[in-house]
Structure 1
Amino acid sequence: MNGSEPRRADAPAVRTVLGDISPADLGVCDAHDHLFLRSPQLPGQELDSPSAAAAELAAFREAGGRSVIQWTPHGMGRRAGLLPELSKTTGVRVVAATGLHQAVHYSAESLEQLRAYGLAALFVRELTAGIGESGVRAGLIKVAGGFHGLDAHARWTMTAAAEAHHATGAPITVHLELGTGALDVLDLLCGECGVPPHRVVLGHLNRSPDLTAHLRAAESGAYVALDGPSRAHHATDWRMPDAVRALADAGFGDRLLLGGDTTTAGARSVHGGPGMPHLLRRVRPRLVTDVGEELVEQILTVNPGQAFGVRWT
């Protein structure tokens, strides 16, 4: 992970758990995944094993992967203090997240504590000083919408994310529930809150087969993350190539990102599931057949650096 060109202090940088790097140094990137994750919505399927996380990163690197953007936000078992050593030992660059998911993933008490502390202040602290006592700085803010709309919790978290973006320059990634609500999210973040669209990454958009919505989201200037392959209930393996082709044909190949979004222990490759390597072992060659190697390499290497590389303030 050494040997990179020196980076100017004012140049865009991706904030990894081992420090800021040039966007060009990300290499082949899984732009949306999870090493650690815990939620009452996924009982018994927690991603909480350091050894399994290390094995999964090693398998991803063996498949050709060089970096992973972890979208696990505050209060969902990030285990930030373990991430630098995992990155060092596996040779995979890791980006951590601050932010907040939907309200169902938290207790009422914890949400009240966050309201008292100030959500934007928490995000800024985790982006600039570090997550908890770990000293590990987050490199993005992850928030979430609802199914075809934004409830009060989503508006609260997104408004705080916008405030933290304006204070730091951090990119904002968005969980779209079943791929819906992208235009409502953009209206709030970019319209009302003034976040530049190219600093927003819309996740799961491919889970809703609405090509018009895909095109309008990309037209805004936001990045579109097509993620979660191998999930039968989202039909993403066969739907994803069509979405990539349609967006590329419309001139938005530079807006596309790909991610695995592994959210349960059983889905890890080291436990017999597809896991992180599936993105490179099976999804990449399928996409190469459909849209060509040049575009796929751009999506996996160039676009993530542009999406997550920012001028930090």
Structure 2
Amino acid sequence: MRTLHTTGPRVRTTAGPLPCAAVRGPALAHEHLVLDLDLRGDGAAVLDAHRHGDQVTGELAELHAEFGLSLVVELSCRGMGRDPRALARIAERTGVAVVPATGWYYEPFHPAGLDGASVEELTATLLAEARDGLDGTGIRPGVLGEVGSHGDTPSAPEARVLRAAARAARETGLSVATHAQLGRGGLAQLDLLTGEGLPAHRVAVGHQDLLDDPAVHRELARSGAYVAFDTVGKESYQSDDVRLRLLLELLEAGHADRALLSCDISRHGYLRTEGGQGYGHLFRSFLPRLRAAGADDDLVDLLTRRNPLRFLTGASTEEI
């Protein structure tokens, strides 16, 4: 007989609310399954639902069978080529729950007209999507992200987007995942978000594995924010040797409950069928190295399952 999970914290997925207690396996905390960031016109920064959907689906289904992958936080938001219907199909075909997102990426990818919008107008847009669903589908977002900035200080349009995300998060109970370009500007992002009254534990600061600055990681973690090591395997940006060192330093500083892990697959060339590392690089390569450095099963479960669920829901350690 199937066990029904009717109480406790829940995450919003393409199929509706999912009890955290039903998420038995690991999660990928920052991924893209359908994406279009093709500013240069070369088709590289694309994951097309029709051309690449079967490859993405095949990878996730394989990871579900081999490693128990249970959840993917899909952070393709407004202006990033998101496709909630395609996400729902992938989730249904793979048995892997997918958390869809809303928000705006960093400034080069802002849609036309966004620069003139007020924080209040932006907040209203996010609240409407949280209430009514994404792009007329009725599929409601489960996270705000990846809300972006670049440089050490967000630009004025980026600051308005961050403030709007914080206000919408407070109103809806959703969390905010950020894009900190090359890992920079995370502390400034957090200041803006918490300045709008959003608790730090409802924020995941993105791409911190690209920033070789353990002091910043510790400061973010001490504040209560989640520190996302979410580009694992992207060796052209940062070596996994450095990522592992930075993660171990954060863990040794006592912040295991603040770290998130993922691969941020953001172009079709990263798929395994095209010779890339794929969504499974975290499980096949990075986690074995972390285990060899001394991580036990409980720590790996914390990093790959409990932390993502706590981030998404705001639940306490005892609740997950």
Q: Please report the TM-score for the alignment, with normalisation by the length of structure 2.
A: 0.90
1:243 matches 2:246: yes
1:47 aligns with 47
Partner residue in 2 for 1:36? 34
Structure 2 residue 292 is matched with structure 1 residue 289: yes
In 1, the alpha carbon distance for the partners of 2:111 and 2:9 equals 37
Deviation of 1:198 (Å): 0.4
Determine the C-alpha separation between the residues in 2 that align with 1:243 and 1:82.
35
Pick one of 162, 174, 177 that aligns with 1:170. 174
Q: Which residue of 2 aligns with 1:125?
A: 128
Query: Which of 92, 95, 99 is matched with 2:99 structurally?
Result: 95
Normalised TM-score (structure 1): 0.92
2:213 aligned residue = 210
Q: What SS does the aligned partner of 1:228 have?
A: coil
Does the alignment pair 1:260 with 2:258? no
Cα distance in 2, alignment partners of residues 282 and 74 from structure 1: 32
CA gap 1:211/1:266 in 2 versus in 1, 3 angstroms: same
CA contact (8 A) 1:226 1:240 kept: yes
SS at structure 1 position matched to 2:29: strand
Name the counterpart of 2:6: 7
Corresponding letter in the other structure for 2:48: D
Question: How much does 1:228 deviate?
Answer: 1.1
Residue among 74, 81, 95 paired with 1:77 = 81
| TM-aligned CA deviation for residue 5 of structure 1 | 3.7
Tell me how far 1:141 sits from its aligned partner: 0.5
Paired residues of 1:145 and 1:177 also in contact (CA < 8 A): yes
State the Cα distance separating 1:151 from its structure 2 match.
0.7
Would you say 1:309 and 2:313 are equivalent positions?
A: yes
CA-CA distance at 1:305 after TM superposition: 1.0
The one-letter code of the counterpart of 1:20 is: P
Q: Deviation of residue 129 (structure 1)? A: 1.7
> What is the letter of the counterpart of residue 258 of structure 2?
R
Superposed, which structure 2 residues align to 1:185-204 within 5 Å?
185-190=189-194, 192-204=195-207
Match of 1:24 among 21, 24, 32: 21
Take 1:74 and 1:81, find their aligned partners in 2: how far apart are those partners? 14
What amino acid sits opposite 1:199 in the alignment?
Answer: R
1:117 and 1:125 mapped to 2: Cα distance? 12
Structure 1 residue 38: deviation in Å? Answer: 0.5
Give the fraction of aligned pairs with identical amino acids, expressed as a percent. 32
2:318 is matched with which residue? none
2:62 & 2:109 partners in 1: Cα distance? Answer: 29
Q: Contact between 2:162 and 2:193, CA under 8 Å: does it hold in 1?
A: yes
Change (3 A) 1:133 1:15: same
Distance (whole Å) between structure 1 residues aligned to residue 301 and residue 243 of structure 2: 16
Q: Secondary structure at the match of 1:257?
A: strand
Distance in 2, Cα, partners of 1:170 & 1:152:
24
Q: Provide the C-alpha distance between the structure 2 equivalents of 1:126 and 1:227, rounded to a whole number of angstroms.
A: 26
Q: How much does 1:270 deviate?
A: 2.6
Q: CA deviation at 1:100?
A: 0.2
CA distance in 1, matches of 2:72, 2:261: 11
Q: Matches of 1:148 and 1:70 in 2, distance apart?
A: 25
Conserved? CA contact 1:230–1:236, under 8 Å = yes
Letter matched to residue 210 of structure 1: D
Secondary structure class of the residue paired with 2:227: strand
Q: Which residue of 2 aligns with 1:299?
A: 303
Distance 1:113 1:75 in 2: 16
| Stretches of 4+ aligned residues off by more than 4 angstroms | 112-117
Moved more, 210-219 or 36-45: 36-45
Distance (Å, rounded) in 2 between the aligned partners of 1:305 and 1:244 = 19
Q: Which residue of 1 aligns with 2:141?
A: 138
Unaligned runs of 5+ in 1: none
Cα distance per residue 1:54-110 (max 9 Å; x no partner):
12322332341221111111121111112222111111111011000012113434x
Q: Which amino acid aligns with 1:16?
A: T
Deviates more, 1:235-244 or 1:260-269: 235-244
AA matched with 2:273: V
Runs of 5+ consecutive residues of structure 2 not aligned to the other structure: 316-320
Aligned residue pairs total 306
Task: Using the TM superposition, give the Cα deviation of residue 24 of structure 1 relative to its aligned residue in structure 2, in angstroms.
Answer: 3.2
Going from structure 1 to structure 2, the CA distance change for 1:286 and 1:172 (only over 3 Å counts) comes to same
SS at match of 1:69: strand
